[in-house]
Amino acid sequence: MKRIYLLLITLIVFGQTISAQNDRKLLKMTDGKSYFELKYDEKGRLIESVEYIADDDLKRSSKYAYSNDKVVQTFYANENIKNKDIRTTVLQNNRVVSEKINLIPYEGEPEYWADYN
């Protein structure tokens, strides 16, 4: 009986190892102290990207939300979620048909909206 359990555990571990090796998702790139990191959901879709530039002590983050017909990207720098840019991409048959971009006011510039069709 112990041999059967040992065999089953070995097969499970071996299966997980193969699965992990076949997962071709970029998770993190580094360059000294700087890095670019990607996080995915269970469906393999990108849900967050984080870029840190050590020389400038700058951290840029994007979060992605998905629905049937659109993707919403929220972008902000240095954990300042109040000052965020939002890009909404409308999909039809898995193709981009329009995009709306809202950029926050930056250094005295007015808020900016753009619609692409």
**61-72: per-residue pLDDT in tens?**
899 999 989 999
Find the domain containing 87 and state its range.
25-116
Residues in the chain: 117
The answer to the question of residue 63 being in a domain is yes
| pLDDT: which is higher, 5 or 85 | 85
For residues 1-14, give the mean pLDDT.
58
In a domain, 43, yes or no: yes
Residue 20: what pLDDT? 47
pLDDT digits over 12-35, tens only? 655 555 554 455 667 888 888 889
Return the structure tokens found at 3: 């041999």
Beta-bridge partner residues of 46: 40
- Total of domains in the chain: 1
Token pair in block for residue 95: 């193709």
pLDDT digits (tens, 9 = 90+) for 68-112: 899 999 988 887 777 788 888 888 888 888 888 887 776 666 666
Handedness of CA 78, 79, 85, 88 (dihedral sign): positive
> Within a domain: residue 4?
no
